Structure 1
């Protein structure tokens, strides 16, 4: 039995018998010869079947010819034939002269999406949309990026944890919670693994990471929000400030981008027309108050009633950083305590500010990180200042009553990173199956 060969390996294979499997991209059923472009997860190859004619110039029927004539775009096949290298063949410099075709599954001839279909239509037929090489590449990049992050974590002695996604109470705030039935009562879908990441510090794990789902009941229809998303989280003990967290964060991203550039740089250039830049470290760091002054000097006043930076402000400060430092990333630091969670550590000399940051990439926030407050009496006081009663947080505060070192960490949206890396307009493109306020299928 001939072993299946990936199409990407054909160029390095010797001429002779070969078997490949994939789906039909195009069929040219011509009078004297039939051509099929077959694609698999690694590439595409041209299949050739010369028609056979008798002495009276009448075509001699063959199973291969008949099968090819019945094929529709998207049908899945396994074929056997003779591999031949030929530089004249534009598609990879090889072709296969067919000897046998086995149809695994015929596709309906009418394709429900086209090259110009809108994103909602494409999401309706996502499994077909993902057959497009450009779209499939996104998830190969995602795999490489996550592998690089895990490699960094493992090589630096981090422990991987898997935190529960069913919660008895809110993990961060009572807003944006999905409530679900849970036997005789109810539970909530986890907004974040925040509390459990911190519990690991009390457990003495020291350095942890998790890649897993998070849920936000946010009725937003922007290009950068989803109700279910993949969160990349890490937490480390024995830090001096949020600077230690930022250093970890930038090293992780540099390693991830390097791995993606090494493995997929050429394909990204070909399919997205992007020269992927591996960021240098350290990333620029700008206190938020200074960033607002810079943005104002560029003629834009942040129109917010609170102390945060709005999306246009993020774009403006990114443009400034690109012009000034030629860098695609910037840490905005020292956010006001008024807009940060109660568990962010406040400045020792100015309680109105926190040891926290947002990481901005290509004009959009991809992550929030901070040093956490580890002194239980201070945590209780900060919770009260946010209108929370410590009694409601007893399960969380117990971590600190039995000792926790100074620690900090971040959470980062995976789909946003990929969206901005590839200059795509919507994170639906970089989410395998998107979930939003009006989408629960497929």
Structure 2
């Protein structure tokens, strides 16, 4: 049995000039002319042109039989070809093996709209270099987040995604049948992170699935996404949490710039920049004062920032501080969960924050209230019954350390980092109110 030469990736072909190689990939384009046959083959690293002069032989017939997106293995010799735009070289074939012939016509092309492309996502990803780069960046980014967390003494946890009671208020959760009773998909690992630090696991983090039953149809929302969550115990104040996050993000972005910076510029026209530390901080009161002075007037006198307010604040921070990030702190207690700690003497505020990146909220965090009786009082203040939260509240009855943490969506971070128009392009398979397939 004759074995083909070892596979060589398209990006590595310049190192194999005048040598026989085997390339494997998909047929990207065909130009079958009267005297010559040209095939552009694509793998996950790039493209190469295969050039064959017609001679009436079996190789000619094989090349004529190819269809776009067929999976093939082609063995031949790499030769210099300055006239070829794809790297100034070409492959002169000696054998062609059709591994899987693609049907025609293809269900999508370059003019296909986003919904149809989502139906055929595997083809969409395969055909677009940008999509493949997203996942390469995601891998580096996620690895760097873990690297930083573990370097800071964090333990990675894997918390349940099936819950016996709905988390927090019970809103925006998916209910499902669990044997003879109902269960709920976790919309956050929040309570389990707090349980872990109460269990003596000093610092914890998790990168895992999160589910939100939000009927949102925006470019930044999904019903299932990968969340980054961190919880730190024995803290003195919420500033420690913000300092941890800004250093973590700066480390991860730095790794992405180091590994993918040039390619990101080539594909997306975006130059990722490692942010300066520390990030600017504005209280919510300060942020709203700045925005109202510039004419921002949300409906109903909202205590929170709407998308327009976030964008305007980003412009202000960019002009004033020259920075793409800003922590907005001290949110009103009325719009924050009952378990957020409140400043001494200011029960109307919370020691909480959102992190905005280029005008988009990417993180919510806070110092948690760790004292059992205060938690009970704050829950009652919001009209919440203690009984459904009994197991959660039990965590604080037997000595819980001061702690705080944050949660962020990985896809939303990637969306901003790469300048993507929609969060759909930052994930392999999107889940939204009207999409459960493929």
Same fold by TM-score, threshold 0.5 exceeded? Answer: yes
| Superposition deviation, residue 9 in structure 1 | 1.6
The one-character-per-residue Cα deviations of 1:357-406 (angstroms, maximum 9, x if unpaired) are 00111111011010011111111111111111222211111111122111
The one-character-per-residue Cα deviations of 1:83-102 (angstroms, maximum 9, x if unpaired) are 22344332123221101111
Residue 85 of structure 2: aligned partner: 90
Question: Structure 2: where are the runs of 5+ without partners?
Answer: none
Residue 174 of structure 2: aligned partner: 178
Q: Which residue among 31, 35, 38 is the counterpart of 1:35?
A: 38
- Classify the secondary structure of the residue corresponding to 1:400: coil
| Superposition deviation, residue 180 in structure 1 | 0.3
| Superposition deviation, residue 71 in structure 1 | 1.1
| Superposition deviation, residue 212 in structure 1 | 0.8
| Superposition deviation, residue 304 in structure 1 | 4.2
TM, length-normalised to structure 1: 0.96
Question: Structure 1: where are the runs of 5+ without partners?
Answer: 53-59
TM, length-normalised to structure 2: 0.97
Residue 12 of structure 1: aligned partner: 15
Contact kept, 8 Å, 1:344 with 1:354, in 2: the verdict is yes
Contact kept, 8 Å, 1:292 with 1:302, in 2: the verdict is no
CA distance in 1, matches of 2:257, 2:414: 13
Residue 117 of structure 1: aligned partner: 112
Q: Does 1:287 align with 2:283?
A: yes
CA distance in 1, matches of 2:241, 2:88: 49
The one-character-per-residue Cα deviations of 1:294-326 (angstroms, maximum 9, x if unpaired) are 111222113244411111100000010111111
The one-character-per-residue Cα deviations of 1:200-238 (angstroms, maximum 9, x if unpaired) are 101111111111111111111111111111111111111
Contact kept, 8 Å, 1:142 with 1:418, in 2: the verdict is yes
Residue 365 of structure 1: aligned partner: 361
CA distance in 2, matches of 1:167, 1:433: 24
- 4+ long deviations beyond 4 Å: none
Contact kept, 8 Å, 1:7 with 1:42, in 2: the verdict is yes
Alignment RMSD: 1.3
Contact kept, 8 Å, 1:172 with 1:194, in 2: the verdict is no
| Superposition deviation, residue 275 in structure 1 | 1.4
Q: Which residue among 327, 340, 359 is the counterpart of 1:331?
A: 327
- Classify the secondary structure of the residue corresponding to 2:171: coil
CA distance in 2, matches of 1:263, 1:35: 33
Contact kept, 8 Å, 1:202 with 1:399, in 2: the verdict is yes
How many pairs does the alignment contain?
A: 434
Contact kept, 8 Å, 2:165 with 2:388, in 1: the verdict is no
